[in-house]
Structure 1
């Protein structure tokens, strides 16, 4: 019997690559987008869903279950980037990215869990970020949203254990996607005391994305995890130094690690 997968944010980037790969592996694949009419993913059933609007989440999940009778996998991928000096980032934008990256993901989880619990099976894969393991300069809000989702996943795993529902995170590093174009960038203010450092950091971040891995790498890792009977708590996908940076954070004194980041961003 074919497995049913729901992937949020499947109209571009990593989500699109995951959806296309899973269709090729014969999964019944539902992808979400705020504007599915603008998406034309071959073999992917695109549905309207905005993670910041709970009523759209409820409607989408209800319709999929009505058609398929179940949802075997949820891949929480929808998200947005944000950059800027913390002092100068508008509160409204900070709240918007938390609503998308954190609270939105939680709302989708809550919508699918009843059917997974009733069948005593299912897996939720939350896409976080290597940036969520550390506070990065001029990306502090983004780091916070992904770090919060990772910690919440750890708690959820233990609460769901008795129902045989699995949950894990996958933290990507830099991938060649259009995420940079979709980020909210706090404006470069002429009179900002952070102007030069912020400007230089923005250029470095964009270069990292341009030189990033193919999203297909991420898609293959996701598929491999889906076939795992007992997934690990966390997975990291990226270049060696990106993954190694997490290990370094565990073993180095905080100030030493901070110095490494300052040197990396030339601050």
Structure 2
């Protein structure tokens, strides 16, 4: 029988590419969106789900299990970007980002675990970010939310071993998606002490997304994880230098690495 896959945020970008790729490989795929009516031409069903609303999560998970009798794979892909000086980022926006990028995935995981335990097997893939491995200037909240999910997965893996449920992270670099259009930008304030440096960094971040890699690279990487018998805890997907930046952080003194980042962002 074909494996059943749930992809949160499966209507656009990486989630859509992963879903379409897995369908070609014979999987049964369900995606989610807060507004599924906007994606009626999707190659796979798009169900209504908001990771910040537990009732929508439970309803969608139960719908899939009722229809298919099982749920083999969860891909926690739904996420939100956020940029801005931490000092000038409203607390409500900081909390909203963590609700989507951290607490949201936890809620979806909690919803699928009873079924996976019943099956005595399952795989959960959390889509994090290479930005979660380092504190990036003017992306500090995003780095923190994705980094938190990375660490959470490490703990979860050990807790779930006894139930034959695997969990892993896959951290993408910059990909050509619409994430820049949907993320929260703290406004460039005229009287802000960060105006010049934040403006430069914001332009650079948008350039990286516009010239990012093809999302199909993520689709191929996730498929390889799915067919791996014993997935590792962490995977990184992106251009060489993006992945190598994690290695540099591990081996370089803090101040040297900080200088490299500041030079990259022209600070």
Q: TM-score, normalised by structure 1?
A: 0.99
Deviation at 1:42, TM superposition (A): 3.8
The within-5 A match list for 1:70-81 is 70-81=70-81
Residue 15 of structure 2 corresponds to residue 38 of structure 1: no
Q: TM-score, normalised by structure 2?
A: 0.99
Query: What corresponds to 1:101 in structure 2?
Result: 101
Tell me if structure 2 keeps the 8 A contact 1:123–1:166. yes
Output the CA distance in 2 between the equivalents of 1:197 and 1:9.
32
Query: What corresponds to 2:117 in structure 1?
Result: 117
Superposed CA RMSD? 0.7
Q: Give deviations 1:79-138, integer Å, cap 9, x for gaps.
A: 000000000000000000000000000000000011111111110000000000000000
Q: Give deviations 1:213-253, integer Å, cap 9, x for gaps.
A: 00011001001100011001100001000000000111111
Output the CA distance in 2 between the equivalents of 1:160 and 1:48.
28
Output the CA distance in 2 between the equivalents of 1:2 and 1:244.
36
Q: Give deviations 1:175-199, integer Å, cap 9, x for gaps.
A: 0001101110000000000000000
Output the CA distance in 2 between the equivalents of 1:259 and 1:41.
47
Output the CA distance in 1 between the equivalents of 2:186 and 2:43.
38
Output the CA distance in 2 between the equivalents of 1:79 and 1:264.
25
Deviation at 1:41, TM superposition (A): 4.6
Aligned residue-pair number:
267
| Structure 2 unaligned regions, length at least 5 | none
Query: What corresponds to 1:226 in structure 2?
Result: 226
Residue 258 of structure 2 corresponds to residue 258 of structure 1: yes
Output the CA distance in 1 between the equivalents of 2:214 and 2:224.
17
Deviation at 1:25, TM superposition (A): 1.2
The 4+ residue runs of structure 1 with deviation greater than 6 A are none
Output the CA distance in 1 between the equivalents of 2:204 and 2:28.
39
Residue 213 of structure 2 corresponds to residue 210 of structure 1: no
Query: What corresponds to 1:52 in structure 2?
Result: 52
Output the CA distance in 2 between the equivalents of 1:233 and 1:21.
23
Deviation at 1:259, TM superposition (A): 0.7
Tell me if structure 2 keeps the 8 A contact 1:11–1:41. no
Query: What corresponds to 2:14 in structure 1?
Result: 14
Output the CA distance in 1 between the equivalents of 2:188 and 2:11.
30
Tell me if structure 1 keeps the 8 A contact 2:11–2:42. no
